[in-house]
Each structure stands twice: as structure tokens, then as C-alpha cells.
Copies of this chain bind each other. A is one copy, B any other.
Amino acid sequence: MAAEYQLYCFDKSGNAYKVALMLNVSGADWRPRFVDFMHGETKSEAFRKLNPMGEVPLLQHDGLMLSQSGVILDYLAEKTGGFGAENDAQRREILRWILFDNHKLTSYIATLRFIRAFTERGENEVTQFFEARAKAALKVLNSHLQNSSFAIGDRVTIADFSMCGYLYFQDEIGIDFAEYPHIIRWLADIQDLEGWAHPYDLMPGESIKA
């Protein structure tokens, strides 16, 4: 029987991981559907029909095909009843950190890591630029986590799943996290959740094509 949730993803995608982690710690009935990003599948006409934005993750559920990790996380919080907001103020705080993640954290870190780990371009003005921006975002997050266990207080929410998306790829990003001790503590706390797994263990890679 088909799983309830089908997630279009691949193991190197921190954006897909945000959703895979949410599904797994929620104990949802989900199945990954491998997308061969490294060989251009997201640029193919067939994929662009599924998502004109040309990105993973995509979540298929209940006749819907959803894209953008932030939208999917919000949808899953509603469907599963977990890791979401309990009132309007929390809803705004969660959205604030998800937007910060998309605009300042993931946007710079994912690009920096991609150039460093998956291209032969080497260090140049671009990596320098992205590293400076990534460090500024990490500093904001680290300061916030000094006084807050998680993004919006004492419990894990989808804002945490969003922001941690690329941060378990530390060795591929090429930034020493020792400067961000509160981020290290927070990542370890998320890692303690039942159902946590590293992106490379949670989603299929090239060697296990469907």
C-alpha cells in the first residue's frame, strides 16, 4: 500500500530534509521519492510541471502537491497537530524564523556549501561573500539561542526544523561552528528527538535510485 505522504527529495538537500525530519519525528507514514537533482531532474520539463519553481521538496498528500518547505511544514503542523503554533503570537514567531531562515540563513549557507562541496570552483570572491553573510546569520541565531532553548521558546517547532536543515552538513559548509556554541547545543537537542536521523540516512542518494 502506498504511504500516506510521498516526499520528493534527495539526500543532499537540506530543504527537503526540513520536511523529512518533520515527517519522521512526527511518526508519519511517509515514503521518499528520489529526485536526481545532481543530474538535472529538477530542470526537466516533467519536474517543472510538478513544480515550476524547479525545487525540492515537494510533498504529495491527499490529492495535493505542495512545494516550498515553509508551506509544507505549516501544512504538516496542521495535519499532524504537532510542532506548530498554539496561538497567534507563536504563529507569527514561527513564521518570522522560517522567513529569516529562507532569506538569510539557508539562502547563504546552502549556496556556500553547494559551491564548496559539490563544485570545483574553489575559493573566490563569491565564497568569501557568502561566508561573511552566512556568519552574520549564524551570529543572529546563536545570540537568539543563548536565551531560548528553541526558536520560539521551550519546545521544538517547525521553525527549528526549518533552520537546522543545512546545519548537520557542518563539515561540508566549511565554517567552524565553535564560535556558535548555542547553535551546537540546540542542534544536539534536536538530535535527541525520537525519529531524528542525519539527512544522509533519512533520504535516498544517487546509489539507491527508485
Q: Which residues of A contact B (CB under 8 A)?
A: 52-54, 66-71, 74-75, 92, 95-96, 98-100, 102-104, 106-107, 124-126, 129, 140, 143-144
Q: Which residues of B contact A100 (CB under 8 A)?
A: 53, 68
Q: Which residues of B contact A107 (CB under 8 A)?
A: 102-103, 107
Task: With CB as the reference atom, state the residue of chain B lying closest to A75.
Answer: B92
Dominant SS among interface residues on chain A: helix
Residue in B53, B96, B126, B144 whose beta carbon sits within 8 Å of that of A126 in the complex: B126
- B53 adjacent to A67 (CB under 8 Å): no
Q: Which residues of B contact A95 (CB under 8 A)?
A: 68, 70-71, 74
- A144 adjacent to B52 (CB under 8 Å): yes
Q: Which residues of B contact A67 (CB under 8 A)?
A: 96
Q: How far does the Cβ of A3 sit from chain B's closest Cβ, in whole Å?
A: 21
- B106 adjacent to A92 (CB under 8 Å): no
Measured CA separation A54–B95 after assembly (Å): 17
Task: With CB as the reference atom, state the residue of chain B lying closest to A92.
Answer: B71
Given contacts A71-B92, A92-B75, A126-B129, whether A54 and B140 have CB atoms under 8 Å apart is yes
